[in-house]
Amino acid sequence: MTEAEIFLKPTLPASFDEGELESVAVCKSREKPLLTNERSVKNWCIKEDIKYADLPDLLRACWQSTVMSKKEVKSLIEDIEEKDNITFRSKEEIFND
């Protein structure tokens, strides 16, 4: 992190954990999109006009860009749900063309 990014962290929402603070500070400072799965961070990004993507967006991009097949993405989703205790609310959206 740059010095400016370190100084930016205390200006961010206190509800963000340390990793979220660092990620948001870096992305905001460098004008890069943020990858997050936290609803509060996504809502803050919308309010602050910061581009972001979440895990479903990333998984969709994997099969659309042919980095992975739909079958591989489906298998990865199952692994994530089982091993990381994450539930995807609308898997259908990941596979919409």
pTM of the predicted protein model = 0.77
How far apart, in whole angstroms, are the C-alpha atoms of residue 42 and residue 54?
8
What averages of pLDDT result for each successive group of 10 residues across the chain (97 residues)? 95 95 95 93 95 94 95 95 89 89
pLDDT of residue 76: 95
pLDDT of residue 48: 93
Task: Note whether 34 and 45 are within 8 A (CB).
Answer: yes
Contacts of 1 (CB under 8 A, 6+ apart): 22, 25, 26
E-strand ranges in 1-97 read 34-35, 52-53
pLDDT of residue 89: 86
3-state class (DSSP) for residue 16: coil
